A = this chain, B = another copy of it.
Amino acid sequence: MSRKASVPANSVALTRRVPRKRRFAVIMAGGVGSRFWPWSRRKSPKQMLALTASRPMIVETALRVRGMLPDENIIVVTSRDLGPAVSKALPWLPARSLLCEPLGRNTAPCIGWAANEILSREPGGVMAVLAADHLIEPKEQFRRALREAFSLAEASEFLITFGIRPRGPETGYGYIEAGKKLYPESPLRLVKKFHEKPSLVKAKRYVKSSKYYWNSGMFVWKAAVIADELRRYLPEMARGLAGLEQSRRRGRIAAAALDGVYPGLESVSIDYGVLERSDRVAVIPATFEWSDIGSWDAVAALWEGDKLDNLSRDPLLVLDAGRNVVASRGKPVALLGVEDLVVVDSGDALLVCKRDRCQDVKKIVELLEKLEGSGSALRKLL
């Protein structure tokens, strides 16, 4: 379908009507991304790494929306540990727009807090929820899609999710089953059902049908609507978050209040906690390229390969070696007679892994966590 056809006539009108300052972008940056060890560490998780470009992924994410809305309307939710690093990476971000969770409680509390923050500033605010560590290209196409989604959310009460047209029978993603079309001029569809990470057989069936999309984990909605839905489906959590609002002074919530409330919040994703239950969820097919870059293998797919499909941005010396992935931060790597390996050098540690075991890199981090209590010198690699 042509780009033009996907823009509903009424949304174009709304884009002009709704002030820019009512639009917010919430960047979720609390994850660890331990599948990117040894590059990813507690103090420099995946979103702080320059995996896809020369700048950290969180910087790429913020710059992707910067200029579309006032700087202070970009809100980053991260962990308290990462706060200083995020602040350094995004020096233009006002302190009030950096929300630091005392501990991770999955995406529902994170989004609920951000929604309340927005409502405290703009009762009519509309928010885009973005992950800090996804690859999205090209930037202009994404911005057009985001503007459309803002318009649709402003003109409706829908919880809008970006659906990705499946590139293959991926079993690592959740799938969204689309239902009826909501507007004649727009590709927005009601969501019929969310499907958890499927079996390969199911995934193949989904890919064949045109009704299924990958769940990108990116959403656009009115802050008031998601706050309503949180009250309906996660009332205890909503009460906890409302308690936080009581302690708001000069726009900020004190760390002590967060310490009191956060540990008691249910750890649940917005998908499982709200979207899978709500009847006002809609999906819009993404018109941009997207990858959640879930493993070294996925990152390497973005790099140029040599004649034998060795993927790297670093200097390689290759003899009878093919289909290897190397990330060595500029250090020369010689490959002799090896195939299908992932080799990652962080300077202070090295990973050598079979490519089909990339998802298990996080288990190496779990090994390190087990060593943590033992006083092993290896704990510094966490």
> Which residue numbers of A lie inside 8 Å of B, CB to CB?
37-38, 315, 317, 319-320, 324, 328, 331-338, 341, 343, 345, 348-354, 356-357, 360-361, 363-364, 367-368, 377-378, 381
Contacts and interface: CB of A to CB of B under 8 A. Distances in A.
B353 A334 contact: yes
Given A315-B377, A332-B378, A378-B317, A337 B364 contact: no
Contacts of A353: 334-338
Given A315-B377, A337-B353, A337-B356, 5 more contacts: A332-B378, A333-B351, A335-B352, A337-B357, A338-B353
A338 B360 contact: no
Contacts of A367: 317, 319
Contact of A351 (B324, B336, B363): B336
How many copies of this protein are present in the complex? 2
Contact of A331 (B37, B333, B334, B349): B349
8 tightest A-B CB contacts, nearest first? A337-B357, A337-B354, A336-B353, A333-B350, A334-B351, A334-B364, A332-B349, A336-B357
A377 B315 CA distance: 10
A338 B350 contact: no
Contacts of A377: 315
B343 A350 contact: yes
- A319, A332, A353, A364 pick with most chain B CB within 10 angstroms: A332
Contacts of A363: 319, 336
A37 B364 CA distance: 28
A337 B345 CA distance: 17
Nearest to A366: B319
A314 to B, nearest CB: 9
Q: Which of A331, A337, A356 has the most CB of B within 10 A?
A: A337
A350 to B, nearest CB: 5
A337 B350 contact: no
B336 A350 contact: no
A360 B334 CA distance: 12
